[in-house]
Structure 1
Amino acid sequence: MPALESLVSFVNSWECDENAHLNVQFYFARFETADAHFRTLVGLPASLRPGARHVRYHAELAEGDLVRAESCVVTEGPLAPGVVHTLLELSTGKVIATAWDAYHASAAESLRGVAQTADAAADVDPRLCGPRGVTAPVPGAISREHLLASGGFVSTRGIIHPADTDADGCAQQRALVGYFSDGASVVWERSGVTKELINSLGYGRVAVEMRLTRFDRFRAGDLVEQISGLVQINERTLWFRHHQFEARTGRLVTIGDAVGLAMDLTTRKAVRFPADAIAGAPILGERAG
């Protein structure tokens, strides 16, 4: 059976960022909404949750664009067991972004049962929906102290407001990715691809891939301390990692991986980083996982 429609939406001007396109946090918001509708459509139990959400950004969305999403269960191939959500431009059907919700192997039988009962399985192309730049396993438990001693730095301090939480009182992914997005600017600055540099060149800094892995949940009133660092850098892309801790307790809640690149804001095409700008960029991955 084809994937099920799980979202119909519209891009508001206030959801767009300095690059004049939909900010990453609002892609995650739409994938959360699509997942909620898909769960209702197919009867996916609330107790069955993925360990990570892996998002690929294939094209841009701008103010006023119409979007829809299709969702399906994946029971075969490298993305199984999982659920894939595909965000499409409503008028043209162009693929804008994909989200692969990766479930633990122990969920395979349950997902297969849901797929059979609701006829909700579909074939997906792992080259389109699967990991491309973020391929390494998520590091295990790691402390703030170890990260800071290994070259990490605080990129964001924030708080989870009641408006940031879902019906269960847990922080929505949109809020977490919003802090990833804010902290990314600090990472870019430290990498050498500074705001001053990109403004002088007419470039923007954009994400093309993200992975959100949850170990725990934030709730309203929790303080977010985000420690970030570079994992890998080459002439065109930069891979960085955010670790979100609850500041009072030191509890690791979320790890966010992101691959970013520089984009010419006139042509909307990817460009190489100036070699002299990134030559001395410090790599966290060599020392802290």
Structure 2
Amino acid sequence: MSDHIPSLADLRRDIDVLDDQIQDLLRRRAEAVQRVADSKEASGETGEFLRPGREAQILRRVLERHNSSLPPAALLRIWREMIAALYRLQAPVKIAVHAPNKSVARWDLARDYYGSTTSMQLCTTAMAVMRAISSQPLTLGVMTMPEDGEKEAWWPMLASRSAETPKVIARLPFVPNPEGSFADLGALVIGNITPEASGEDNALLVLMLAEEAFSFARLSAMLTQAGFAGRPLAQHRGSDGMIRVLVEVDGFVAPEDARLAVLASAAGDPNADAIVIGAYPAPVR
């Protein structure tokens, strides 16, 4: 057995070798993404390249393999930086941050997930975010978390079956960072992207019904009757006399899910409706 103790110079050379290998692997990763983009173009495929469900699966797999002293939040930050940077090989993605009062907190949360090289803009109103998404299809909106009783709720604007209406596709932070300055801050990400299942998901529904037909106790029974496990997040009284209730349910829910009709029917209101406004991979706990 050798009693050789490596010197600092030896250890630093080892680090240099590892850095070269990491850089080579990053180059190969970028080349693989470019081949996917070229293949799509050659085949005429015009599908969405932003895949929040697929990205969540990648991050969960990385976490499952993780076995080192490197903090998990730092590891996933590296992966998110790589994923966001490689967006550019297919198209430029922009982020519109909903930051009332020009708060930097949500900006920090968005930057942490979408990378240091992604173009970002600050929007003090939800309507400004919606305009950015409408005028630039590859713009994602990082929105404030809904709160019950808020005066200017943005989420009712998504309660539409129009293909042009943005959908909720992600929730931030995906991995909480206990050392982060804004660890308790949350956000929902919206965009003109079709939500996809990741294997562990939550969906957001908006239930619209007459005011006299609503109560939280009754809503719980209605969800159970329709086969959902969920919880109300917020309610909003519209100028049309209808109450809109934002509900988070367990699992992925497609827009054509038959349980939605059951939920609307359970309200006993002929004008009641239940609409999926998006779904997102469940954050890692």
TM-score w.r.t. the length of structure 1 is: 0.23
TM-score w.r.t. the length of structure 2 is: 0.23
Q: Which has the higher helix share?
A: 2
Q: Which has the larger radius of gyration?
A: 2
Q: Which has the higher strand share?
A: 1
